[in-house]
Chain A
């Protein structure tokens, strides 16, 4: 069943855009158009004539977009989302998630709200994923550094792997530092002192 609402998603991040698209399609919105390219955006919007525009907040073209909505005669007048002050929680949630939306004037808010909620939750999910990926990368890099530091200690002090790790851990505890910080400075120091 089609909702009959056409939605334009403007996002430089193609992965995030397709995550949102998928969510919207699952919710029964067939007319979802993704735009990554900012060139000729005004003409594209005029051609597509969307009912709802979802845009990421990192996009530097928001001022241009809002101006166009004010003056254009070719586009139906979209207005900023949640103009109703009672929606301050929704506004905060959206800005927090890094997304904004514009809605053609007159479209009933009951019909638009689920679309915006969807965009906000998908933006959040994407940020969480990106953060997890970043954490995983850091964790992997940390583990590699600790392994290297252990190797240095094993070689220079003739310790077993377990003893080397214990030494790192004790040093960190005594100095109230993280093991990774001790390992990194040990790697740098041994690099500087190596022949």
Chain B
């Protein structure tokens, strides 16, 4: 029987939202669909992009905007890609240093992460510092084409802070963020878990808001695949998505949270202590160690309807690329982006049938 399995090689970055791929392999969902799933851990998104482009990987864990950037030729080694399935919703947060948090709290920042309140508190801090000729504020994100970059920029801009003039935004690998905060190289960052909890547990940082508050139930990572591979292997891709949908449902069951934590913290995956992974996986995310309240729906996995991509999500990412001058707007590109985030392959694979009208996107400041 084993010889009948079709091999699929997938790249991933050691983050909590690689869970669906990891569970598909470890819990046997991939094998049940006839797939021998091989997971290859990578050290940068640049490597993921390069290795999927040259065909080392069949599919990959990807930042949702990456297949768009690759298809629109905005990065090197660009190839036409698809994002046929969403691997997780939410999961990111904006963390600031304890020093910056004290200043923000003095300016009335909401203790429970209301993005409008924490954003305007930060704007007041920047004004106050400007008058005192204080040092500028520097934020880190993991990649220029990432949900992290766009969420941070959206939050700043909504409070009247120009992300390119009033603060500095730099790129840093996720696992280095918490240390950079401690060392004073960064004043804050937007990153996925477990790297916010890493600063919270170390008591060097505080979460001020999160992706779930800025843009509720929004996609963070997607399954990335080249159009070429998807066209050549439609049945394998369909089987893989069925396996991953079942894996996502397994990941979302609170009864499996401990088991999932145990697997993900293992040496071949995140290789980290369970204490920093547990908050997001077990629904215990807190703004800091003393916070009484947990953050609801911080990171969610789900198969079925929820994991279907939405063209409107792709278009939101594209709008941000245009807004921040990474891309030049054209109607053709809007169409292409919509097709990259088309739910049709996923829905067909799961036999979900056609969906009615697409819901509109609502962010925290949408009237």
Contacts and interface: CB of A to CB of B under 8 A. Distances in A.
A138 interface: no
Contacts of A60: 43-44, 173, 175-176
A91 B77 contact: yes
B45 interface: yes
B261 to A, nearest CB: 23
B323 interface: no
A170 B3 CA distance: 29
A95 B43 contact: no
Contacts of A96: 54, 56
B233 interface: no
B44 A95 contact: no
B43 A57 contact: yes
Nearest to A40: B185
Given A83-B76, A88-B54, A91-B54, A61 B144 contact: no
Nearest to B175: A60
Nearest to A100: B50
A80 interface: yes
B8 to A, nearest CB: 19
B77 A63 contact: no
B363 interface: no
A160 interface: no
A183 B146 CA distance: 52
Give the bracket for the number of chain A residues in contact with chain B: 20 to 34
A67 B176 contact: no
Contacts of A58: 43
A80 B75 CA distance: 9
Contacts of A79: 76
Interface string B23-58: 000000000000000000001111100110111100
B273 interface: no
Interface string B46-80: 11001101111000000000000000000111000
Interface in A21-78: 57-64, 66-68, 70
B172 interface: yes
A57 B49 CA distance: 12
Nearest to B149: A67
A63 B54 contact: no
Nearest to A93: B54
B173 A61 contact: yes
A92 interface: yes
Contacts of A68: 171
Nearest to B45: A63
Given A61-B44, A66-B46, A80 B51 contact: no
Given A95-B54, A95-B56, A63 B76 contact: no
Contacts of A63: 44-46, 142-143, 171, 173
Given A58-B43, A80-B77, A64 B54 contact: no
Nearest to B171: A67
Residue in A59, A64, A92 with the greatest tally of chain B CB atoms within 10 Å: A64
A95 B55 CA distance: 10
A88 B56 CA distance: 13
A88 B54 CA distance: 8
B170 interface: yes
Contacts, number: 58
Nearest to A102: B76
Contact of B46 (A62, A83, A91): A62
B160 to A, nearest CB: 22
Contacts of A57: 43-44, 47, 50
A64 B172 contact: yes
Contact of B44 (A62, A83, A92): A62
Given A60-B173, A63-B173, A64-B173, A95 B50 contact: yes
A95 B51 contact: yes
Given A62-B44, A91-B50, A100-B50, A67 B175 contact: no
B47 A64 contact: no
Contacts of B175: 60
Nearest to B164: A71
Nearest to A83: B76
A61 B142 CA distance: 10
Interface string A137-174: 00000000000000000000000000000000000000
23 contacts: A60-B173, A60-B175, A60-B176, A61-B173, A62-B43, A62-B44, A62-B46, A63-B44, A63-B46, A63-B142, A63-B143, A63-B173, A64-B170, A66-B76, A67-B143, A67-B170, A79-B76, A91-B53, A91-B54, A91-B77, A92-B54, A95-B51, A96-B56
Given A60-B176, A95-B50, 16 more contacts: A57-B43, A57-B47, A62-B44, A62-B46, A62-B47, A63-B45, A63-B142, A63-B173, A64-B173, A66-B76, A67-B170, A67-B171, A70-B144, A79-B76, A83-B76, A91-B77
Closest 6 CB pairs of A and B: A80-B76, A67-B171, A62-B46, A60-B173, A62-B44, A60-B43
Interface of B: 43-47, 50-51, 53-56, 75-77, 142-144, 170-173, 175-176
